[in-house]
Amino acid sequence: MDFTTRMYRIRRTCLEMLADRGYLITEEERDASLDAFKEKFGSAGDVRRDDLTIMASKTDDPTEQIFVFFPDEVKVGVKTIKTLAERMRNEGVQRAVMVTQANMTPFAKQCLSEMAPKYLIELFQEAELLVNITKHTLVPQHRILTREEKQTLLDRYKVKDTQLPRIQFNDPVARYYGMQRGQVVRIVRPSETAGRYVTYRLCAPRVVGLAAGASHSLALLRTPSGSMVLSFGRGEDGQLGHGDAEDRDSPQAVFALVNRGVSLVACGAEYSCVVSTREKQLWSWGWGDFGRLGTGDCKDVFVPCPLPALAGRTVASVACGDTHTLVATDDGQLFSFGRNQSGQLGLGSIQDSLLPQPVLALQGKRVVRVACGAEHSLCATSDGEVFAFGWGRYGNIGDGQAQDRHLPTEVKGLEGVKVAQVACGWRHSIAVDEQGAMYTWGWGAWAQLMHGDRNDVYIPKRVAAVSDVALVAGGWRHTLAADREGWLYASGWNKFGQCGVGSNDEVVVAPQQVQALAGQKVALIESGWKHSLAVTEDGGFYSWGRNVNGQLGHGNTDDCNQPTLVPPLTAGSINVDALNLAARPTVAYSVAPSDRYAVVPESGDGGSGDGLAAASGRDEVPDANRDAKRPKV
């Protein structure tokens, strides 16, 4: 098939798809012949993909519009995504379809995820649109119900939508019709006995975001009516957001955040943050000492608390360390707050900050990604540069020295490399460039740098064992990396099975493939101090590692050394109604840490089990084998 004919067929399928979704497409345009296409767009290889762009309005609501883009780049990257998003912003359009020649870069996909729900861009490859699958004789008739028709159906049969059979979000027909989670499709099949057979299927919700702290976890669920944040694990400091100090061994929805349009979630050691792009708001809660919550004081907070200092700003990236927080806005500004004894706020001093402060040293740079270790910070700019600041005595700053830095310092060894992703472990640093090359540096005593040894590294060193990296996550002393095929690898400290390799060997020195997820494409990963989380492309939610506080969400407190499915958070098994019922309204209250706990650092090698040695600025690291809670006064 020649190029012109190929593009003609692809564009025709797109026009048919829009018409079937209820957009205004004229018959003349939809049924245009190949000759008419050539006359309009050229022939003999003269067709430019950019010229094929489609813009259409909904038949029943002309203000609801959609773009269809055909990028010229063979492999679409972040720059193209941002250019198209800017065009959507200028035109006031919030939804688009992008037809690509090949797979996008992982970081471009991540960029799309972070843009939702403000901009919804669906992805199709050209090969998927050469034919209209809904016209195949073996594909039954599908029709998306309106909200009124859905409610009538539920009332007629006296059922809830969660009781309906499911259709996966990534089902080919669901993608063709642009189904959103919570919509119901009517499917009519021919029947030899009844003439026809009618069934209804619900587009199932799924987890779209993860975060893991010292001993607790967050999951972001996209629901039919908006979003839901679920938390589980240790709740002693209010980090679960349920208004009490109790642990949860199963996921529970945070009542204050139901349907608030949450788009990003993050965990610190014993606190949590979430962002709503829709409401332009950031909430924080949990352990509040040193000002890590950004609320203006040091009180613990047991339900999500909005940050007035950042209200009205669109947040592009947020990261939490042990006791400090970084926030990057969509215009590239960087803010920091919390503990600063090692300069981890990048303000040029060692004075803590109870409120968000702009990092003035990076003015003129557009910060797009941030990451926090225990007491050090990383950020990546739109130009692919990486800056580090804070505690650096294991080389985790990446400037070749073993010194703290109080101001953002450009990382050495990455010259000529455009970094698209950064992550931190407790005392180590990770960067991934646009080509999927992974670099690590810093503390390596537990083989967490993935270099197959236990050495510290003072400038970024490329990881040879894993290539084409798409996702990375740094734990306390272990690291996870997933490649573009979806294979997951792990190395580092493994006493509690947090590497997921099916054993409890003390250390996994050389990166090993996580066999329990073999054959499944990993779409999201996250590491806590001693536990790990992952979501597969088909919506499976898995967790493994330390579970003494229920941070794996298994309904028990048993550790697990290989990925184990969490049904309440797995697509097809998620019961939104049940989760909503379990979310209880609570009365917000806060308590000063000095009124609840006596912080008593232990002497000798180790420190307290929850990281208080690190918080005090000493060089020792907490005892890795303890999960002791802080003693109450």
The contacts of residue 570 (CB under 8 Å, 6+ apart) are: 539, 540, 541
Res 336: pLDDT: 98
Residue whose C-alpha is closest to residue 596's, from 319, 245, 225 = 245
By 3-state DSSP, what share of the chain in percent is helix, strand and coil, each rounded to 5?
20, 35, 45
**Tokens found for residue 209:** 């975001």
What does the block give as tokens for 340? 């600063």
DSSP characters over 302-353: EEEEE-GGGTTPPEEEEEE-SSEEEEEETTS-EEEEE--TTSTT-SSS---E
Kindly give the pairing relationship between strand 120-125 and strand 95-100: parallel
Residue type, 430: I
Report pLDDT for 546.
98
> Under CATH, which number does the domain 140-203 receive?
3.90.940.20
Domain boundaries, given as residue ranges, for the chain: 3-130, 140-203, 597-633
CB-based contact 256:595 (threshold 8 Å):
no
Whether residue 117 is preceded by a cis peptide bond, meaning omega within 30 degrees of 0, is: yes
- Residue 9: the pLDDT is 95
Residue with tokens 């979501």: 535
pLDDT value at residue 609: 36
Q: What is the CA radius of gyration of the chain?
A: 25
Which candidate, 290, 201, 198, places its Cα nearest to that of 237? 290
Q: Token pair of 278, please? A: 């829709």
Nearest to 543 by CA among 562, 521, 570: 562
Q: Are 423 and 473 in contact (CB under 8 A)?
A: yes
* Residue 522 contacts residue 465 (beta carbons within 8 Å): no
Q: Rounded to an integer, what distance in angstroms lies between the CA atom of residue 270 and that of residue 285?
A: 9
Is the CB of residue 497 less than 8 Å from the CB of residue 480?
no
CA angle, residues 593, 595, 599, in degrees to nearest 5 = 55
Whole-number pLDDT of residue 237? 95
Cα–Cα distance, 547 to 72 (Å, whole number): 48
Task: Enumerate the β-bridge partners of residue 186.
Answer: 143, 200
Q: Which residues in the chain land under pLDDT 50?
A: 598-621, 629-633
Choosing among 3.30.465.10, 3.40.1340.10, 3.40.50.460, 3.40.50.300, the CATH entry for 3-130 is: 3.40.1340.10
Q: How far is CA 281 from the centre of its chain?
A: 17
C-beta neighbour count of 424 within 10 angstroms: 25
User: How would you write 340-397 as a 3-class SS string?
Assistant: CCCCCCCCCCCCCEEEEEECHHHCCCCEEEEEECCCEEEEEECCCCEEEEECCCCCCC
Looking at residue 538, what is its pLDDT? 82
Instruction: Please write the tens of the pLDDT for every residue from 491-500.
Output: 999 999 999 9
CA angle 554, 528, 112 (to 5 degrees): 95
Handedness of CA 56, 176, 128, 82 (dihedral sign): positive
Residues 6+ apart with CB under 8 A from 339: 290, 291, 292, 321, 322, 323, 324, 352, 375, 615
Q: What is the dihedral of CA 521, 523, 529, 531, to 10 degrees?
A: -50
> Residue 404 and residue 482: Cα distance in Å, rounded?
31
CA-to-CA separations, 579 to 152, 229, 245, 308, in angstroms, rounded? 24, 10, 20, 29
Query: 161: Cβ–Cβ under 8 A, 6 or more apart, which residues?
Result: 150, 154, 182, 184, 202, 224
The first and second tokens of residue 17, run together, are 């798809």
Strands 428-433 and 438-442: antiparallel
- Closest of 563, 538, 568, 540 to residue 553, by C-alpha: 568
Query: In the prediction, which pLDDT does 505 show?
Result: 96
Residues 43-89: tens digit of each pLDDT: 766 788 989 999 999 998 899 999 999 998 888 888 888 889 889 98
Coil, strand or helix at 14:
helix
